[in-house]
Structure 1
Amino acid sequence: MPTPLRAPAAPTGNIPLPQRILVVENSRTHARLIGEAIEQKLALPVAYAATLTEARTMLEQQQDWFMVVTSLVLADGSHDEVVEFFLSRELPTVVVSGVYDEAMRQQILRRQIVDYVLKNTPGSIDYLVWLVQRLERNRRIAALIVDDSRSTRAHAAALLAMYGFRVLEAADGEAGLAVLDANPDIRLAIVDQEMPGMKGHEFTRRLRARHARDHLAIIGISGTSDASLVPRFLKSGANDFLHKPFSREEFFCRVSQNIDQLELIGTLQDLATRDFLTGLPNRRHFLSECHALLPNTLGRQQAVTAAIVDIDHFKHINDTYGHEAGDLALKAVAQTIAQHAGAQDLIARFGGEEFCALVPYLGEGEAVEYFEDLRQRIEALQVDVGGKVLRMTVSIGLFRTRFPGQTLNHLLTEADRRLYLAKAGGRNRVVSTG
């Protein structure tokens, strides 16, 4: 009988996630190929062992192990002993083998082994690197299973947990919607068709109305042979569909492909909306967000403060220390602005050495105090540039209003005029009147 799959314990709270990877391999050359590829591409620490005895010592000496990549051919252990050794320690384990043996592959995949990968095949190292990256990222993702069958939920939950996901469950559509509302970090939903009260495709339609494709992937599942069900799910907003019973490998490939696509969309959105150097929102995104926030805030006669922050003598920094130092200065200022900003504030790198902010709800005195504190934080920065300490200051122009109908262009023009007064008045200051 196959060993029942069990869900490993998930990390809780703000405890740092383990990062260290153990490569167990009697071929030092192959071990280094795997380990160096992981370290170079993923920046995760890798340690090496050639035997189970070495692996046992290393596991006992260190506690921050994330996963194991192990060969089945070791000097001090049979195939079964190698597998049982790591499974008993509840470490996500990937087996690599130099020989394709279908019976051995099937036997191993009936255990709680993440994957079985052939050595020395084209792309095997790249696949292992992708697999490690996928498992590491999955630990920050929640997944929801919506199915009225307790056994199906348990099976799918164990698979998702093995791949690192935090798993939540619901027995019907209404419960599923409630779980999603309470857990905004859910990025994947596995949805069965045959459920009481609300069919899977109808649940998918309602779910998609609340969550866009760039935030949530939905995979429909069903044991029915109804050919119309797949297009019905897809037209209702599902990303994919699986027929029950599904194999472990197909399940993992479909899930991973959909999560990869979500991350790719996120990357493309970041490229479109974020400044590449500093990581702050870019000018285009800032203007778009401001146009949405401004009429809502001013329409309720709530105050809004626009500010332009400009690094003083930035050309002198580049000329004296070099453009790399200028980039470090921009990053340091951007990080300080990001740390200073509240959840409701809109900030951006506006261009060059200039940054912009739109901050709602501050009183007149509060606005000046808020940006004076930011100015002081930037003045206190000490940026290491090749062993030398770079210090800098900023000038800030603000304009605060609470009158409905004021345009963003007017706010920014007035803030820019006050920035000019701050520069003319000697720099390193905040000017809010003029």
Structure 2
Amino acid sequence: MYNILVVEDTAVVRKILAKLIGANPFFRCVMCKDLATAREAMKQDVAFLAAVVDLNLPDAPNGEVVNEVLEKGIPTVVLTGNFSETLRGRLLAEGVLDYITKDCRFAYNQVVKVLDRLRKNTQTKVLVVDDSSVSRNIICNLLTKAKFEVESVNDGLEALQKLKENPDIKLVISDHHMPNMDGCELVKALREQPCYQNLVFIGVSSEGDGLMSAKFIKGGANDFLKKPFHHEEFYWRVFSSLDSMEMLETIQLAAKLDSLTGLFNRGYLFEQGEELFAKRDSLECLSVCMFDLDEFKQVNDSLGHRIGDELIVQFAKLLQESFSSDVVGRYGGEEFAVISARPERVMRLSIQQFMKSVRCMLFTEKRLAVTCSIGVCMSPKDGLMAAFESADLQLYRAKNGGRNRIEPFDSEVA
């Protein structure tokens, strides 16, 4: 939970902000109607992610609240009814993150957007690439104020090494003219590698013509900034590029998931399985398991599809929890699959424990006692599809053997 300090003297505006900011489950609002109340709030043992402040308060009519909040190291968004280009420029130069005017309802949504971006920034690592220590420090300081985790290097070759060491870096901001490898060469080198296709890359340069921006963007950059840039423009270009990439990743993830259960869908299950099978020579064991809910059609026919869907969702959740370190997916209908690289003995125990959990659990609001059948292919000698065919054959044996069985384990015991 992140605390947001709101300093606003108008009750209606406080109410709007409390509703919009409070709708985000990650945020808790600390509402203050004047500077005195804000001072008391900042004295408490509370860490604030950011502050949203009005400039004209009863006890601070000239924006005094801004300096006091900034002195506490709290990223500050000014929300005011007064638009002054001079004042706006001065406040941004002093370190205010954004200056938003209360000219329409969208302004309040913009405040919430900035706050949520700051929350995401706390888990976003950025790499700054620039051989100028002055320029590098300016960019790093701006990013740090916006709650990013920041790394920096001097040139493109160092950047490649840093990215290799830190695969969780999500954004690169790179100058053009650098020794060893320049910014355009860097972005081209990165885009040639599949693992960096979703890496956000923003080029910067003091060269003034449009050819440089075109060169960067044609090379694979997401955006370009000309030095010297305005702080406000810098932030919004960075924020917009990250927002766009996160939206793309959300779409990409949705294409991999089953819409009902949230597990991997069949296509992505095979994709992940092929990656595991490609590395099987270095793995101790590989196994493919098929799971099928027994008598599922009777549940749908007698209790309806809503209860059937609820059963599928709860069964999938139990499966995911039981095989959290494995590749788990919905194969189709009431069938599921697990692909694991864990040792055979460990996987056997997990499968048997899962079967016990199913037998002991009551599912859905109807408190249904259900069973499942499981087919297992351990240490397949051929490819992924052959392993699935073998596991499916064992599942068929389990069904024909009376259901509620694990094959070939139960036959081995018998």
Change (3 A) 1:21 1:319: farther
Shift of 1:290: 2.4
Task: Give 3-state SS (helix, strand or coil) of 2:229's partner.
Answer: coil
Contact 1:368 1:432 in 2 (8 A): no
With the length of structure 1 as denominator, give the TM-score of the two structures: 0.85
* Matched residue SS, 2:173: strand
- 5+ long unaligned stretches in structure 2: none
> Does the aligned pair in 2 maintain the 1:368–1:430 contact within 8 Å?
no
1:233 matched residue in structure 2 = 216
Matching residue of 1:3: none
- Cα distance in 2 between the residues matched to 1:166 and 1:41: 23
Distance 1:79 1:393, change over 3 A: farther
1:86 counterpart SS class: helix
Shift of 1:393: 4.2
Say whether 1:399 aligns with 2:377.
yes
Whether the 8 Å contact between 2:77 and 2:98 is mirrored in structure 1 is: yes
Matched residues in 1 for 2:161 and 2:258: separation? 36
Q: Tell me whether 1:72 sits opposite 2:50 in the alignment.
A: no
Residue in structure 2 matched with residue 359 of structure 1 by the alignment: 340
Seen in structure 2, the aligned counterparts of structure 1 residues 179 and 70 have a Cα distance that, compared at 3 Å, is: same
| 2:396 is equivalent to residue 420 of structure 1 | yes
Asked if 1:257 corresponds to 2:233, the answer is no
Pair 1:337–1:79, CA change in 2 (3 A): farther
Distance 1:244-1:300 versus aligned 2 partners, 3 A rule: closer
Where 1:79 maps in the other structure, the secondary structure is coil
Q: SS at 2:150's partner residue?
A: strand
| 3-state secondary structure, aligned to 1:397 | strand
Q: 1:278 aligns with which of 234, 245, 261?
A: 261
Q: Quick check: 2:49–2:118 contact (8 Å CA) kept in 1? A: no
Deviations 1:168-216 (A, max 9, x none): 0001222211211111111110111111222221122222223556420
Distance 2:100 2:379 in 1: 63
Q: Which of 88, 105, 120 is the equivalent residue of 1:137? A: 120
Contact 1:42 1:133 in 2 (8 A): no
Cα 1:330–1:64, aligned 2, differ >3 Å: closer, same or farther? farther
Deviation at 1:226, TM superposition (A): 5.1
Which residues of 2 match residues 137-216 of structure 1 at below 5 A? Answer: 137-210=120-193, 214-216=197-199
Distance in 2, Cα, partners of 1:314 & 1:89:
60
Aligned to 1:289: 272
Matches within 5 A, 1:305-316: 305-314=287-296
Is it true that 1:336 corresponds to 2:312 in the alignment?
Answer: no
Q: Distance in 2 between matches of 1:160 and 1:311?
A: 51
Give deviations 1:69-116, integer Å, cap 9, x for gaps: 111122222434201221122222211001111121112111221111
Paired residues, number: 410
Separation (CA, whole Å) in 2 of partners of 1:291 and 1:200: 35
Query: Residue in 2 aligned with 1:411?
Result: 387
- The 3 A distance-change label for structure 1 pair 39 and 429 is farther
Evaluate the alpha carbon distance shift between residue 197 and residue 295 of structure 1 in structure 2; reply closer, same or farther with a 3 A threshold. closer
Q: 1:242: Cα distance to partner?
A: 1.0
Asked if 1:347 corresponds to 2:328, the answer is yes
In the alignment, the residues of structure 2 paired with residue 384 and residue 90 of structure 1 have an alpha-carbon distance, to the nearest angstrom, of: 50
SS at match of 2:9: coil
User: In the superposition, relative to structure 1, how do residues 91 and 300 fare at CA in structure 2: closer, same or farther (>3 Å)?
Assistant: closer
**CA shift at 1:142, angstroms?**
0.4
Q: CA shift at 1:401, angstroms?
A: 3.8
- Partner of 1:107, secondary structure, is helix
Counterpart amino acid of 2:35?
A: L
Comparing 151-160 with 285-294, which one deviates more in the overlay?
A: 285-294
CA distance in structure 1 between the partners assigned to 2:99 and 2:30 by the alignment: 20
What residue is the counterpart of 1:15 in the other structure? none
- What letter is aligned with 2:397? L
2:219 pairs with 1:219: no
Matched, 1:89 2:72: yes
Deviations 1:299-334 (A, max 9, x none): 679643211122344456667877555545444433
Measured after TM superposition, the shift of residue 219 of structure 1 is: 0.9
Q: TM-score, normalised by structure 2?
A: 0.88
Moved more, 61-70 or 111-120: 61-70
**Could you tell me which residue of structure 2 aligns to residue 4 of structure 1?**
none
Deviations 1:125-157 (A, max 9, x none): 221121122111111110010001111111101
RMSD: 2.8
Amino acid at match of 1:432: P
Post-superposition offset of 1:267: 0.8
Match of 1:5 in 2: none
Please say which of residues 366-375 and 389-398 is displaced more in the overlay: 389-398
Distance 1:29 1:342, change over 3 A: closer
User: Structure 1 CA distance, aligned partners of 2:106 and 2:201?
Assistant: 29
| 1:373 maps to amino acid | Q
**2:7–2:34 CA contact under 8 A, matched in 1:** yes
Please say if residues 350 and 356 of structure 1, whose CA atoms lie closer than 8 Å, have aligned partners that are also in contact.
yes
The within-5 A match list for 1:49-64 is 49-61=32-44, 63-64=46-47
Q: Counterpart in 1 of 2:231?
A: 248
1: CA distance, partners of 2:14 / 2:303:
43
Which runs of no fewer than 5 residues in structure 1 stay unpaired?
1-17
3-state DSSP class of the match of 1:45? Answer: strand
Structure 1 107/390 Cα, relative in aligned 2: closer, same or farther at 3 Å?
farther
